[in-house]
Structure 1
Amino acid sequence: MASNYEDFFTLSRFGVVGHTAAKPFPLISYRRLKAMGKTVYPIDPSTMLVDRDPAYPSLVSLPQPVDGLIIEVPKAETAGWVAAAADAGIGHVWIHMAHETPEAVALAAEKGINLRTGTCAVMYLNPGMSYHGIHKLIMKLTGKY
């Protein structure tokens, strides 16, 4: 049986939120979702292009709704993106490890969002041996995968 984390990737359309002006865009997640054949939109209010694809400044600017959202922005912005996800009716959100805040977690719970946090989405997306592969092995061994 797939875990809640694994089930996230059964969704069809994704948004990946970054803030290039503050930190590098989460390209590994973005590229791996695309390689899986998913519809994926880069959302970054600080740039017009991500990986040569048009970037969108907000969730309301997307050409179609998304089912899941990966958020990897500075912590000060996380709760705002969770609120935007709730307003857009996005029921599945993944806050990248170490980017969650108590306010963001509480808001997701209040709005009924199925929140994934405490780990890195790349661990589930990046096959093979890497830092993320080692993290994946540890999570499996400890029953947290």
Structure 2
Amino acid sequence: MDLAIQNFTKSKKVAIVGASRSGNKFGNSAAKELQERGYEVFYVHPEVAEIDGKTSYPNLEAVKDQVESVWVSVPAERGEAVLREAAAAGLTKVWLQQGGSSPELVQLGKELGLELVAGKCILMYAEPVRSFHKFHQVIWKVVGQY
């Protein structure tokens, strides 16, 4: 397993960027799953004060002293702003969920000095891995993709 993945999954206080106010996005379901796996999540959304019954912070600067890492589930075209915001807040452990990454964002992450995980599903790595993610994890280990 990649060192950046190991370091990220060891950090148990995670800012969640990409959950919706309606609660119907993958970001919301992933955040709930991370909580069930022992992570403390802190929602970041510039337009709402609460998501899924928890306080939502307007930006990463507002939550930087409470978190150790940032998990991002937004389209790649919004990723640059999030990476720059994380770097400015001094948050260096960043995970760009699959579907929200690009080669340009990976390069930017390097330039900003971020310990970046890109293009992978956090639910495959945040222990304990369950259900179909566990099955995928075994397959990926067999084929050398884990």
Q: TM-score, normalised by structure 1?
A: 0.83
Counterpart position of 2:13: 13
Task: Report the TM-score, using the length of structure 2 for normalisation.
Answer: 0.83
Aligned-pair distance for 1:104? Answer: 1.8
Q: Please tell me the residue identity of whatever aligns with 1:7.
A: N
Matched with 2:65 is 64
Q: Given that residues 75 and 101 in structure 1 are in contact (C-alpha distance below 8 angstroms), is that contact kept between their aligned partners in structure 2?
A: yes
In 2: Cα distance, 1:34 partner to 1:128 partner: 14
The correspondence of residues 1-145 of structure 1 with structure 2, limited to 5 A, is: 3-4=2-3, 5-18=5-18, 20=20, 24=25, 26-62=27-63, 64-125=65-126, 127-130=129-132, 132-145=133-146
Task: Give the SS at the match of 1:69.
Answer: strand
User: Deviation at 1:32?
Assistant: 3.3
8 A Cα contact 2:75 2:99, kept in partner: no
Indicate the SS of the match to 2:131. coil
Instruction: Mark the runs of 5 or more structure 1 residues left unpaired by the alignment.
Output: none
Distance 1:37 1:127 in 2: 12
- Identity among equivalent pairs (%): 27
For structure 2, the residue ranges without an aligned partner over 5 or more in a row are: none
Report the number of matched residues: 143
Higher mean displacement: 17-26 or 105-114: 17-26
Question: Aligned-residue CA RMSD in angstroms?
Answer: 2.4
Indicate if the aligned counterparts of 1:100 and 1:117 stay in contact, CA closer than 8 A: yes
